[in-house]
Structure 1
Amino acid sequence: MKFAYRFSNLLGTVYRRGNLNFTCDGNSVISPVGNRVTVFDLKNNKSNTLPLATRYNVKCVGLSPDGRLAIIVDEGGNALLVSLVGRSVLHHFHFKGSVHSVSFSPDGRKFVVTKGNIAQMYHAPGRKREFNAFVLDKTYFGPYDETTHIDWTDDSKCFAVGSKDMSTWVFGAERWDNLIYYALGGHKDAIVACFFESNSLDLYTVSQDGALCVWQCDTPPEGLRLKAPTGWKADLLRREEEEEEEEEGEQETTIRGKAAPASEEQKGKVKYSRLAKYFFNKEGDFNNLTAAAYHKKIHLLVTGFASGIFHLHELPEFNLIHSLSISDQRIESITINSSGDWIALGCSGLGQLLVWEWQSESYVLKQQGHFNSMVSLAYSPDGQYIVTGGDDGKVKVWNTLSGFCFITFTEHSSGVTGVTFTATGYVIVTSSMDGTVRAFDLHRYRNFRTFTSPRPTQFSCVAVDSSGEIVSAGAQDSFEIFIWSMQTGRLLEVLSGHEGPISGLCFNPTRSVLASASWDRTVRLWDMVDSWKTTETLTLTSDALAVTYRPDGAELAVATLNSQITFWDPENAVQTGSIEGRHDLKTGRKELDKITAKHSAKGKAFTTLCYSADGQSILAGGMSKFVCIYHVKEQILRKKFEISCNLSLDAMEEFLNRRKMTEFGNLALIDQDAGEENGVAIPLPGVKKGDMSSRHFKPEIRVTSLRFSPTGRCWAATTTEGLLIYSLDTQMLFDPFELDTSVTPGRIRAALRQRDFTRAILMALRLNERKLVQEALESVPWAEIDVISASLPELYVEKVLEFLASSFEVSRHLEFYLIWTQKLLMAHGQKLKSRAGKLLPAIQFLQKSIQRHLDDVSKLCDWNRYNIQYALAVSQQRGVKRSSEPPGSEEEEADGSDGDDSLHLLGGGLGEGDDGEGLLV
């Protein structure tokens, strides 16, 4: 089994905090998610997380005008220069302080960073390779408080900076003679945003109290004059001009007119005057304006408020276009795409991301993650979907291909503790702390079964047998296991015997035997066929936290509180091995811990287990930032994955940060912004946003659930950061099979020219180069596929099936590859049954790929069929009407419009009033 798993995508979280950006084509949204950045492709309906991470949570993202580069800055001031084309980090930089915003100039030559109460202008990195990509040009002083927003003029000559001291400052990007800086007042609260008008120095400023000021400048952008150089620069320029004059003999002895004496009219400085001041409608004392965006071409201003309302106004007349509410939480960020059609809104309180098309008043994208942490996950049998359950009581289903959530079930009234799919893949069964176990139908998207217990109890886990008929759930408070029938919804049996809370349930994939793990240091095996009796009791050395069967049902793995993983033979109730995982967990030290990380690790353990698709390895995770893969037979660690490097989470560092230790204690105990939260004063002392008990909340890193995909090509983990997907990286992997010196690309192509297709395919599979395998398979004429597939050795059939499954995801030759698949399975189906367990991941991967195409094509076919039926019905309706009309009118109609009848078919039907409506029904 290969272990080249790499981080591929982040699901379950769509927005945390920071600013949103549209790409230059306006089709994708760039959203900060924790310490990562996700790109949502709205045209192709896909989301993709960039394979990079900052040290702390991302605070701001600056995008270059051409869309090729992005500057990502985290809360600690660390910056990454990222190529969005190559999806790689080009440069690391530290701004030595907390950065609030980053903005490139429209010409892409410079960018400005606001830090504290200053603004710094840097030379933007070019396309040439440079030793230092960020070169500081100027530092601008002026504001007395923190800066909040940056906006550039269209010609990149000036930029404006808003501040919390209620002032807006206009700075010149060059050494202008008539504009060095200009300060604008007029507001009574902190500036949220400032915007230049298109091709003008006119300015709009928006403050937190909901006030908009319109400022008019008396000087056009062309009226800015460069300041004449003085000192050695002037001498140098004069010398260069004199040399040019001697060579050409035609130019005047001036420095391009820059040093010429200015007339009296030109000596005037740039001045601003306030034209108007408008106020937004507020619905309460704390309904502060929190975010704003302005589109210069269509003069559209979008403002968001702390109550979740956003307004659309047309400037400069301040005409209200829309006023809408998306939630009751604060809107953190707003941006508009280049065409001005789509508006992206980010709500950090709910982790919500919306893209709104304001002209048609419809959602382009509406995604929201779990409000609290995710607890459990499960893959569908074909690997296309992932279902997650969270502490917020929501059950969400995610598409692994697009990365989007397409349905959310909210029937549970308390935290969801377990989720699972039935064998068909169309039913989801969930358990919750609200005392119910619910079954959801993915055909009609409804809760069609609700299982309850005779006495109110809290369910901690759930499992469904392979037939999908028996549903079981373990109780946390009554120590019992409840068994229901999926068909009737009736309670069949209550299994008693455990003396502690049930921590895990798992059905044997091949037999009707249920394994239950409990805190009473036992694992019990229950026979579902023979009177619900306990067949075996496995005694452990510590409390059991998780239990799982191998895919073939011949082995059982149990994770215990003493950081061990024990393996059992369920038939004979004999322990076959154990793995000590305490040293592999490597838990970090919390900020407020009194003990070291080494001693803290003694109380940590693996809390979730999952076998790989082939059953040779096991995946383990728990109260740590590491996920471990162990070889079961050899009982050794194969690979360890670090799922996060985000220092904004707790328990990440192994050693205590000495800089936070003072003579008065740990600085982590002191809340820096104790006076207010999001600009609103907290009435109760010690209120915490996460657990409602203190103001400052730092979540702890942990892995709550792990699952391998049935295809074996990826695995997923629910963590504090979200739902992480790790998939096999086969791009740069050279993995030949039984290679010798006679196998070369030249000989493969020579065999193809000689039409020796079988030998060419076998050599290509031995070299294991994807392009060569594709070339060999696609060179086979479709009429000869039957003969060649039958002549392939059985050992190579599995490799061809794996290649076909992966090709279905990217190739357009669907029918050709379907013929290959059919002929291979028909020729070798009986022989492959003996190795069904080993071939199962490849077959499931193949099924997933074909099923996805079936869903897409069937929807298209249904749509076309309905349209044809509708057109035929309208045509028949018109034929009936014509036959009922007088002959004269029919002849006139035939003479006038019979030739164009087919062109106006749909339009005529829809314009018929009651008849058209009846046809639609």
Structure 2
Amino acid sequence: MKFAYRFSNLLGAVYRQGNLNFSKDGNAVISPVGNRVSVFDLKNNTSETFPISTTKNITCVGVSPDGSLAIVVDEDGAALLVSLITRAVLHHFHFHKPVSSIRFSPDGRKFVVTKENVALMYHAPGKQREFNAFVLDKSYYGPYDETTCIDWTDDSKCFVVGSKDMSTWVFGAERWANLIYYSLGGHKDIIVGCFFEKDSLDLYTVSQDGALCVWESDTELDGLVLKKSLDKPEPVRQEGGEEDEDRAEGEEVEVIRGKAEPPKDKNKVKNVRYKHRSKHFFNKEAEFNNLTAAAYHKPTHILVTGFASGMFHLHELPEFNLIHSLSISDQRIASVAINSSGDWIAFGCSRMGQLLVWEWQSESYVFKQQGHFNNMASLAYSPDGQYVVTGGDDGKVKVWNTNSGLCFVTFTEHTSSVTNVTFTSSGFVIVSASLDGTVRAFDLHRYRNFRTFTSPRPAQFCSLAVDVSGELVSAGAQDSFEIFLWSMQTGRLLEVLGGHEGPVSSLCFSPVQSILASASWDRTIRLWDMLDSWQVKETLPLTSDGLSVTYRPDGQELAVATLNGEIAFWNPQTATQTGSIAGRHDLEVGRKETDKITAKQSAKGKSFTSICYSADGESILAGGHSKFVCIYNVKEQMLVKKFEISCNLSFDAMEEFLDRRKMTEFGSLALVDDGAGDGDGVDISLPGVRRGDMSSRHFKPEIRVSSLRFSPTGRSWAATTTEGLLVYSLDGSLVFDPYDLDLDVTPASIRKQLRLQEWASAIVLAFRLNENALKQEVLEKVPHEQISVVCGSLPDVYVEKLLGFVATCLEKSSHLQFYMTWAQNLLMLHGQRLKNRSASILPTLQSLQKSIQRHFDNLSKLCDFNMYNIRYAAALSKQKGIKRPAEEEEEEHDEGMSEEMSEASLEESEMIL
């Protein structure tokens, strides 16, 4: 199962649209990102994206009170019931119409969904497995326009629904005798939020024009009287209503109408009444500054409101005292959420792709992330695989930590789109090329732009490469057809290489020689010798325009992707072509809405735009104008596996055939101009133009893969796509992949060898069975003093496997010294034999280096922190008043001991690392 890569994480995007939610403990934010759901752990500073996806972008998420379930609804109303514990889909459901909001009751037994002008109450799924997880209980009609928001009372007896018709409706979750429904007015704009007071029927309603109404009820929650079963009316069935679609066959559903007169009660119970207590207005700086999001924390009585200008306010209710006001963005705040303790507030800005968590008491950011708010153009892995750098059309260069999945530095010096990024061999310098005519080098130690390379005449750089030493920086121009060479040390321009007759689309340095390969639209690849006066060493002819060129990790082969959809392989020493792959049929391009030709015909004009070799050089990864990424075996020149990077129908060019529901007598609905009455189609639409109105801009992004890279460790690969930066990795725990399996290779026989203290044979048997848990159990039962003996007696074929497993365990295990001893003995005893297979063992060594480097960084910070604390404590003790000589001698002795202990701990940690 060498290519059992699975979706691991989504980087480069933290929030798109929809509502934010906090987990039950309040330490994690659940954020919808496109058609996926990401969870950001604020305590451990990590992110995780669920391996589930909807068919379109997610609009609302409802989380159960116990934090175990979530209901995810997309733009069309298709819902998924997801377990937040196992990350698995439990149930599929379709509401048939777009859903505006969803909310669980506090007791977790019901949930309400609002769509169009109706509120539907369902029985929440229970703990046992059910055939139908969503059972419709009641339908509530009241508002004339679309519903916008929901809130429940603390005891789950009533809920309130806000609407676009400026009204707010209070409904009873049961058949109360004194409350069937109650309608509240008082606003002049769309209701953004409606909230019950804690343990009360009192209400707060907030509208888009910045008005807050406070409503006081004359009845307590305990005053609600349940109707007797004898007085219960016959269920009312609405003819042709929407609830018929959501009901199972033969199921009777009660329909509560707010537009009819309530039935008169026989017992003369006093009905619930509301009184308008007060009305407050937010200070608006401008007329366009609408109130766009609101959240209320009941225990602390704090109301948080977000505005279209990026400002937010904190008010204490019901007195409406302003606690805090701040501008966190220059764009519209789309969603606001408060955690259970009321300390942290999450804000989502959909246009900028921002997700912020603000601690209002200390007035500081707990979490601040922003993705590329435009397409990503390129990515590169650091040499140890710990970091990924991305460049986007927004002109930003972002560096992401592969372990946490978060961005820790953003460089904004470029003024135009970043076309290419790369790391130097040291891993501490990032080089980026841009259409603004500059190539910039960034330092990861001080986080600054320390070099800026420019050309004598302004040029738009579209390709970039840095040699192995990190001294030479080259960039290709798309307008002057030239290649520029600079020195990293001095920043000076060394040479301008001319000769290409078309834009230089791709550059790549050989990993073993000082040779630069350049691919161009003039159907040639040129090999430039950096040692011999920068002359052309070879010119390799291509059958079509060259789009991407890359060297194999050992430098003995060259791969080129061309415009006709082929990948050609060349021997750079002999300048001969060794093979080619026709990959056009593997792309499987989808049909765009405005295409007048079929997807099969459209595929003839598509090609791979990005290729890269795997870490061992045996396979090649290719992606382009398609939703598929292909892995080919280089030696056999055949397709090994295809990965579908997205199933999100909110992107264009996803489906192979047009939807018949979008076809009219004049052709596709997307090609019919709404403004023209004669039915003439729009032949060539301008990019991003909404049909019918040429002045209204609308953009439906097309799915594509702009860049691909394999991790140096070989355990994962990443792709920059329209959806974001997708990371696929090997999940070995879910794959059974035995090696040299036999009948006697069983867990029982392995444990028998352990009892007999036959350590080497137990390790060999465990690696033949290839179960991770069993391998770890065997390895950790070997006595520390026996490690060198066991390493020396291992067969050669298992040395590399054991080294790779040790590197994987070292990344997550706390037994540092134990696994470091294994790695040291394996490298010392089998170093010469491993050196002979350096090309194949390189990814394993890089994985080991990544794990050690990570622990070194964490431990060195901890040791520094402890050392500074000890010095601070010693300095404080010296500053205290006059002490007795005996006490001073004891303290000096203790200080000396503490300093010796700190130095000893530092030396020990350095020896371990």
Give the TM-score, by structure 2 length: 0.91
Secondary structure of the residue aligned to 1:139 is strand
Report what 2:361 is aligned to: 359
Q: Secondary structure at the match of 2:807?
A: helix
Report the secondary structure of 1:30's partner residue.
strand
User: Partner residue of 1:615?
Assistant: 617
Q: Secondary structure at the match of 1:312?
A: strand
What is the aligned partner in structure 2 of residue 164 from structure 1? 164
Pair 1:165–1:794, CA change in 2 (3 A)? same
- C-alpha deviation, 1:809, in angstroms: 2.3
Determine which of 530, 533, 543 is the counterpart of 1:531. 533
Deviation of 1:665 after TM superposition, in Å, equals 5.2
CA distance in structure 2 between the partners assigned to 1:172 and 1:874 by the alignment: 64
Check whether the contact 1:332–1:347 (CA below 8 A) recurs between aligned residues. Answer: yes
Distance 1:765 1:876, change over 3 A: same
Which residue, 380, 387, 409 being the options, matches 1:385?
Answer: 387
2:245 matched residue in structure 1? none
Contact 1:671 1:696 in 2 (8 A): no
Partner-residue secondary structure (3-state), 1:641: strand
Report the TM-score when normalising by structure 1.
0.90
* 2:377 matched residue in structure 1: 375
Report if the CA contact (8 A) 1:503-1:517 is conserved. Answer: yes
Mapping of residues 677-692 of structure 1, within 5 Å: none
Question: Structure 1 residues 317, 575: CA separation in 2 closer, same or farther (over 3 Å shift)?
Answer: same
| 8 A Cα contact 1:309 1:323, kept in partner | yes
**What does 1:696-735 correspond to in 2, within 5 Å?**
696-735=698-737
Over aligned residue pairs, what C-alpha RMSD do you find? 2.4
Rounded Cα–Cα distance in structure 2 between residues aligned with 1:686 and 1:391: 16
Aligned to 2:294: 292
The residue aligned with 2:447 is 445
- Opposite residue 462 of structure 1, the aligned amino acid is L
Code of the residue aligned with 1:756 in structure 2: it is E
Separation of aligned partners in 2, 1:87 and 1:768 = 25
Q: Distance in 2 between matches of 1:294 and 1:672?
A: 43
Q: 1:101 corresponds to which residue?
A: 101
C-alpha distance in 1, partners of 2:7/2:717?
10
User: Does the 8 Å CA contact 2:148/2:161 hold for their aligned counterparts?
Assistant: yes
Match of 1:917 in 2: none
1:79 has 2:84 as partner: no
Match of 2:555 in 1: 553
Contact 1:7–1:726 (8 Å) recurs in 2: yes
- Which position in structure 1 is the counterpart of 2:173? 173
SS in 2 for 1:725: strand
Partners in 2 of 1:743 and 1:23 — Cα distance? 44
String of CA shifts for 1:106-139, please: whole Å, max 9, x gaps.
1111100000011000111101111111111111
Q: 1:772 aligns with which of 771, 774, 790?
A: 774
Percent identity (aligned): 73
* Secondary structure class of the residue paired with 2:528: strand
Please list the CA deviations of residues 256-309 of structure 1 after superposition, one character each: whole Å capped at 9, or x if unmatched.
Answer: xxxxx9998x62211001100000000111000000000000000000000000
1:679 aligned partner: none
Pick from 474, 477, 485 the counterpart of residue 475 of structure 1.
Answer: 477
Return the match for 2:429 from 402, 427, 430: 427
Q: 1:490 aligns with which of 472, 489, 492?
A: 492
Q: What letter matches 1:435 in structure 2?
A: G
CA pair 751-693 structure 1, distance change in 2 beyond 3 A: farther
CA contact (8 A) 1:686 1:693 kept: no
Give 2:124's aligned residue. Answer: 124
For 2:887 and 2:832, how far apart are their aligned partners in 1?
67
Correspondence for 1:186: 186
Q: 1 CA distance for matches of 2:44 and 2:748?
A: 39
Cα displacement string for residues 368-422 of structure 1 (whole angstroms, at most 9, x for unaligned residues): 0001010000000000000000000000000000000000000111100000001
Q: 1:670 to 1:190 in 2, by over 3 A?
A: farther
Q: How far apart are residue 732 of structure 1 and its match?
A: 2.2
SS of 1:787 mapped into structure 2: helix
Q: Match of 2:807, as an amino acid?
A: A
Offset of residue 877 of structure 1: 4.0
Q: Which residue of 1 aligns with 2:827?
A: 825
* Equivalence for 2:569: 567
Matching residue within 770, 778, 784 for 1:782: 784
Map of 1:804 onto structure 2: 806
* In 1, Cα distance between equivalents of 2:854 and 2:338: 33
Structure 1 residue 48: Cα displacement: 0.3
CA distance in 1, matches of 2:666, 2:429: 57
Is the contact made by 2:666 and 2:672 (CA closer than 8 Å) also made in structure 1?
A: no
Name the structure 2 match of 1:250.
Answer: none
What's the secondary structure of 2:395's corresponding residue?
coil
The Cα of 1:742 is off from its aligned counterpart by: 2.8
* CA distance in structure 2 between the aligned counterparts of 1:263 and 1:435, rounded to whole angstroms: 83
Q: CA deviation at 1:776?
A: 1.7
Displacement of 1:567 in angstroms is 0.5
User: SS of 1:766's equivalent?
Assistant: helix
**In structure 2, C-alpha distance between the alignment counterparts of 1:231 and 1:589, rounded to whole Å:** 59
Distance 2:332 2:595 in 1: 33
Structure 1 residue identity aligned to 2:634:
V
Whole-angstrom CA distance in 1 between matches of 2:723 and 2:887: 71
Structure 1 counterpart of 2:87, one-letter code: R
By how many angstroms is 1:661 displaced? Answer: 2.1
Aligned partner of 2:757 among 740, 755, 764: 755
Question: Which residue does the alignment assign to 1:246?
Answer: none
Aligned to 2:111: 111
Distance, in Å, in 2 between the alignment partners of 1:643 and 1:514 is 32
Deviates more, 1:368-377 or 1:590-599: 590-599
Secondary structure at the residue paired with 2:732?
coil
Partner of 2:246: none
In structure 2, distance between residues paired with 1:171 and 1:899: 71
The one-letter code matched in structure 2 to 1:98 is P
Mapped partners of 2:509, 2:620: distance in 1: 17
Matched with 1:196 is 196
Question: Aligned to 2:829, what secondary structure does the other structure show?
Answer: helix
Among 872, 875, 879, which residue is 2:874 paired with? 872
Alignment of 1:542-691 (within 5 A): 542-663=544-665, 666-668=668-670
Aligned to 1:337: 339
Q: 2:602 is aligned with what amino acid?
A: S
Answering whether residue 142 of structure 2 is matched by residue 142 of structure 1, we say yes
Structure 2: runs of 5 or more not aligned: 235-263, 676-686, 896-913
Measured after TM superposition, the shift of residue 852 of structure 1 is 0.7
Unaligned stretches of 5+ residues in structure 1: 235-260, 674-684, 883-889, 904-921
